Structure 1
Amino acid sequence: MSTPFSLRIFVADGDPDGLRIVERFNASARAVVFPRALLPQVKTRPELQQTGVYLLLGPRPDGEGDLLYVGEGDPIRPRIESHYAQKDFWTRAIGFVAVGGMLNKAHVQFLEARLIALARAAKRVPLDNGNFPNEPTLSEADRADMLVFLDHMLGMLPVLGVHAFELAPSVSTVIRADAAAPVTPLLYCAGKGVEASGYEASQGFVVKAGSRAVAEVVLSLQQNWPARTTQRQDLLNSGVLVTDGDALRFTQDFVFTSPTLAAVLILGRHTNGRTKWKDAQGRTLKELQEAEAGS
């Protein structure tokens, strides 16, 4: 079970969508979050004068989902200013520094390499990075410290709306508060000669590795919901889906934002995931949720 923690969010300019300084209680990680338009005003912040790692996020060129860039700077400010002039996609930035300025160049290179590796493994958001750096050599003590710092960062990012580094949780970890049983049982989605299994989690709807999806989508989905066709192709391009005979197969557990999106991409047609996903007894996810709400 994850350990509860508290975050302190300081809205520095009084605008909830403007500059925010985020700190985790009793931890050294501090995040600076701001929209791109505010860089000229916030670049003098002391946090941006420190050594750290940063994320740039914004819409993909095709408009379907987000794009992510992971970088490091010693200090951060010149690197973000360079991207302000040269990278068009990003609309917001998140910089991470250590309270007291304890990070050095090797530390942030380690954090950058780890974050890129995590994003590539999760395959939830495509990377704008052209290079995938190796981890630098750190002392045993520094490496241990940076793993703790990274863990604190990864705990803060979902609260800030960034899920790019999250792997699908194991079904054994998706439990009730009383630790007695899964939130929902394993569910199944079948049709057109394929079947997939999955379950609901706090991150979204998880489709399990080994699940199968149809190889082709119906024409109406291509015409009326082209974004869904693009998302399927993204899964093929990233290796989450591979050809398996006359169907496609999931190579890893993968988190979708909803059971409906999962069902649509599996069946290749528009459908309602809350009625299409069923447990072993044939009860739909909708029925299970209604029963849970009324208990």
Structure 2
Amino acid sequence: MEEFLENIKLLVNALGFKIFEELRKDQTIEEQIKSTFYINAARGANAKGQMTNEGFVVLRNSEIASSPTNSFPQNLINLRQSLIDDDIISLINDKLIFKEDHLFFSPSAAAAVVMGRSANGLIEWKLNDGTILKSVESDN
């Protein structure tokens, strides 16, 4: 039975579905600190995230803006609402909080959902020292 399950994992992974893999690899505390990006913005946005090979992961317990701006695109409003409807984001103590790590396919989509407005994730996500994601990506 275990061999059968391993074959399923291999096949599903080869098809591009990463459902049996962790969103983030195991890291030491020091590695986590060096690779964690932050957004602290208006309307309660206070989030952490990390780049992965599959996209950008917003980390559990990250807070998102309490409400989107009037100019927030409808497709992102729908994405934000689906995360709330699916209980990935929940209202806890009057704050909208990610209950689990969540993978976005781009840092910009992650930043937009977190900030409740259109956003360029390459400049919104920053390391503790203020270095923007775009600088880190261009160094690699």
Query: Scaled by the length of structure 1, what TM-score is found?
Result: 0.43
Per-residue CA deviation, residues 64-96 of structure 1 (Å, 9 max, x unaligned), is xxxxxxxxxxxxxxxxxxxxxxxxxxxxxxxxx
Offset of 1:204 from its aligned partner? 1.3
Q: Which residue of 2 aligns with 1:187?
A: 37
**Matched residue pairs, number?**
136
1:198 aligns with 2:49: yes
- Contact kept, 8 Å, 1:171 with 1:199, in 2: the verdict is no
Q: Which residue of 2 aligns with 1:290?
A: 138
Q: Which residue of 2 aligns with 1:240?
A: 88
Q: How does 1:99-178 map to 2 (within 5 A)?
A: 145=1, 147-164=2-19, 166-172=21-27
| Unaligned stretches of 5+ residues in structure 2 | none
Per-residue CA deviation, residues 9-62 of structure 1 (Å, 9 max, x unaligned), is xxxxxxxxxxxxxxxxxxxxxxxxxxxxxxxxxxxxxxxxxxxxxxxxxxxxxx
* Whole-angstrom CA distance in 2 between matches of 1:161 and 1:243: 32
Q: Which entry has the higher C-alpha Rg, 1 or 2?
A: 1
Shifted more, 240-249 versus 148-157: the winner is 148-157
The secondary structure found in structure 2 opposite 1:206 is strand
The secondary structure found in structure 1 opposite 2:11 is helix
Larger RCO (CA under 8 A, 6+ residues apart): 2
* Whole-angstrom CA distance in 2 between matches of 1:154 and 1:247: 37
Q: Which residue of 2 aligns with 1:250?
A: 98
Amino acid at match of 1:186: T
| Unaligned stretches of 5+ residues in structure 1 | 1-144, 174-180
Q: Which residue of 1 aligns with 2:65?
A: 214
Offset of 1:159 from its aligned partner? 2.9
Q: Which has the higher strand share?
A: 1
Q: Which portions of structure 1, spanning 4 or more consecutive aligned residues, are displaced by more than 3 angstroms?
A: 163-167
Identity of aligned residues (%): 28
Q: What is the root-mean-square deviation in Å for CA atoms of aligned residues?
A: 2.1
